[in-house]
Amino acid sequence: EHEVTPTSVTVAKSSNPAAGTTVLPGSTLEYTLTVTVADSATTEVVTLTDTLGAGLTFGAVTGAGVFTCTGALTCELPAGTLPGTYAVTYTATVNADATGTVGNSVVATTPPGGDPDPACTTCTTEHEVTPTSVTVAKSSNPAAGTTVLPGSTLEYTLTVTVADSATTEVVTLTDTLGAGLTFGAVTGAGVFTCTGALTCELPAGTLPGTYAVV
């Protein structure tokens, strides 16, 4: 009688673009879960449970290979799988309002009493979300540099452009009228909240776009 060397199973996770790189909201990430079976065939099902972190939405399994996948996302490698390397690939989208970092993790298990739980070499991935970029511009009607009469009305427009990702803090515009001007009224606040003469706030979580107050 000879004992057959027990199976050895290792799991690794990778991503495209690679973990540690910077991603934009709305971009698609491709994840690959790789199971390596060594020495002998598996005697139990190997279950991969992959959990997406905040800021990510599951897309689709783009390559299941010999795995059977359900939900978002559990994949099973069948018992009796011969030594070799097996991969499953799926996609996820970075949410429009994602900030900071996005990441996920995989856990590999086998039923109790059977093959030992697989070893995981790289179980998690993390990507930094491109920080928000905010620019502010001011214009007037009639245009700056023209001549105006006493008693005339000037219309000012403050424009905020949010780029790359959502804001994480309130953006406050404080507009100070110089001598010779009297504040009239806010005629178009848009998504801003304005008080006094004149402070306007763009809320945290504002998505990329252009926003104006008049």
For the segment 65-86, what is each residue's pLDDT rounded down to a tens digit?
Answer: 999 999 999 999 999 999 999 9
Q: Strand 124-129 relative to strand 155-163: parallel, antiparallel, unpaired?
A: unpaired
Low-confidence stretches of the chain (pLDDT < 70) are none
Residue type, 50: D
Identify the pLDDT of residue 34: 97
Express each pLDDT in 81-128 by its tens digit.
999 999 999 999 999 999 999 999 999 998 877 777 799 888 999 999
Q: Strand 155-163 relative to strand 133-141: parallel, antiparallel, unpaired?
A: antiparallel
Identify the pLDDT of residue 112: 79
Three-state SS for the chain is: CCCCCCCEEEEEEEEECCCCCEECCCCEEEEEEEEEEECCCCCCCEEEEEEECCCEEEEEEEECCCCEEECCCEEEECCCCCCEEEEEEEEEEECCCCCCEEEEEEEEECCCCCCCCCEEEECEEEEEECCCEEEEEEEEECCCCCCCCCCCCCEEEEEEEEECCCCCCCEEEECCCCCCCCCCCCCCCCCCEEECCCEEEECCCCCCEEEEEC
Strand partners, 46: 77
The pTM (predicted TM-score) of the whole model is 0.86
Q: Is 191 left (phi over 0), alpha (psi -120 to 50) or beta?
A: alpha
Q: Quote the tokens at residue 160.
A: 């905020």
**How many Å is the Cα radius of gyration of the chain?**
28
CA torsion 33-62-49-26 (nearest 10°) is: 100
Mean of the per-residue pLDDT values of the chain: 95
